[in-house]
């Protein structure tokens, strides 16, 4: 049987990870390479030269202005009390797993408290999400509506159930029809104003957008995009339409991945988990490079204390009004 080279690529094995990032010193060296690829640059005076390395305090001192800089200052890792090796192991587990990893399982692997594992995980997921959010999709984009969550006993059945979180999926394809870009975003509902806001944020102004006949997708035309609505009908008939073949496949993979990894996933952190899936999707052709690419982005991400982490979660979740204890 012919093996799919994408599925059977080598990736970054645990022995290779330990060989490259197995010690605190190796992690610090990697962090320095990611932060200053062309060599140390003083944050104060901008001088570029080999710094004085203070062994007793793990600081880098500028030879010109004598400013002392920390490797982690101004990055996602600022003020961390954990060894860098713990952060690197977390990045390895998040980037090399086929699906996501729950904070409870991450806690066991890292040997830390659950809240610590939760913070590490969600800080890294926020980096993943923000990394992709700044790049709009272009070309021909397939857009569809979806829901996360099931019906709650005694609540309204079907779409509009208070236990369901609506989100929009947008997939761009190249000239050969192969998927190259993905965006998943929660919305307050499938109204044209919500769809318009999603399109303006995630789609290139010159893109052509293909959707089904849902009334709310008129917001795409209101946003100034070329809109091609296609009435598909409901049920399994729409699954067989070739124009949405890739998008339907990706949506199925999204739900299978989330359901297989997170048994209790409420609506509020959902945007981060959707962002994690997009991050994996865009970097599926080179699994081994996922960790250094995530580290490169992390050192360019400002510090994220717990208060800002929760605030970012609330902003990403927009104005959905689901009870915080509702889980699926």
How many other C-beta atoms are found inside a 10 Å radius of the C-beta of residue 57?
8
269 pLDDT band (50/70/90 cuts)?
confident
Q: Are strands 59-61 and 226-230 parallel, antiparallel or unpaired?
A: unpaired
How many other C-beta atoms are found inside a 10 Å radius of the C-beta of residue 15?
9
Phi/psi class of residue 257: alpha, beta or left (left: φ > 0; alpha: ψ in -120 to 50)? alpha
pTM of the model: 0.88
3 pLDDT band (50/70/90 cuts)?
confident
Q: Output the average pLDDT for the chain.
A: 87
Terminal-residue alpha carbon distance, the chain: 38
Nearest CA to 125 out of 294, 289, 255 is that of 294
| Distance, CA of 41 to CA of 49 (rounded, Å) | 7
The encoded tokens of residue 298 equal 């992390």
Please give the pLDDT value at position 10: 86
Please give the pLDDT value at position 7: 77
| Distance, CA of 49 to CA of 39 (rounded, Å) | 7
Please give the pLDDT value at position 4: 77
| Distance, CA of 30 to CA of 21 (rounded, Å) | 8
| Distance, CA of 15 to CA of 326 (rounded, Å) | 40
CATH number at 140-316:
3.30.420
Q: What's the pLDDT tens digit per position in 277-316?
A: 999 999 999 999 999 999 999 999 999 988 888 877 766 6
Q: What's the pLDDT tens digit per position in 25-69?
A: 999 999 999 999 999 999 899 889 899 988 777 789 999 999 999
The encoded tokens of residue 326 equal 């509702």
Mutual angle of helices 306-316 and 114-133, in 10-degree steps: 50
| Distance, CA of 116 to CA of 210 (rounded, Å) | 43
200 pLDDT band (50/70/90 cuts)?
very high
């Amino acid at each position: 049987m012919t093996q799919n080279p994408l599925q059977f690529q080598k990736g970054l094995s645990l022995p290779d990870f330990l060989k490259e990032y197995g010690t605190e010193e190796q992690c610090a060296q990697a962090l320095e390479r990611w932060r200053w690829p062309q060599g140390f640059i003083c944050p104060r005076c901008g001088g570029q030269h080999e710094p004085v390395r203070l062994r007793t305090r793990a600081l880098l001192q500028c030879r010109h202005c004598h400013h002392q800089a920390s490797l982690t200052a101004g990055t996602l890792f600022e003020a961390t009390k954990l060894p860098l090796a713990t952060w690197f192991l977390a990045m390895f587990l998040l980037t090399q797993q086929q699906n996501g990893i729950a904070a409870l399982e991450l806690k066991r692997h890292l040997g830390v408290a659950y809240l610590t594992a939760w913070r590490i995980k969600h800080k890294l997921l926020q980096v993943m999400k923000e990394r992709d959010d700044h790049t709009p999709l272009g070309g021909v984009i397939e857009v569809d509506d979806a829901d996360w969550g099931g019906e709650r006993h005694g609540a309204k059945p079907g779409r509009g159930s208070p236990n369901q979180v609506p989100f929009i999926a947008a997939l761009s394809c190249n000239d050969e029809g192969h998927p190259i870009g993905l965006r998943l975003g929660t919305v307050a509902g499938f109204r044209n104003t919500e769809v318009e806001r999603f399109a303006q944020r995630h789609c290139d102004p010159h893109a052509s957008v293909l959707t089904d006949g849902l009334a709310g997708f008129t917001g795409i035309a209101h946003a100034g995009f070329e809109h091609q609505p296609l009435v598909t009908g409901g049920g399994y008939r729409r699954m067989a339409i070739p124009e949405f073949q890739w998008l339907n496949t990706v949506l199925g993979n999204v739900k299978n991945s989330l359901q297989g990894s997170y048994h209790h996933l409420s609506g509020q952190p959902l945007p981060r988990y959707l962002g994690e899936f997009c991050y994996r999707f865009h970097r599926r052709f080179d699994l081994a490079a996922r960790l250094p690419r995530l580290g490169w982005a992390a050192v360019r991400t400002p510090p994220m204390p717990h208060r800002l982490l929760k605030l970012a979660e609330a902003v990403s979740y927009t104005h959905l009004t689901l009870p915080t204890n509702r889980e699926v």
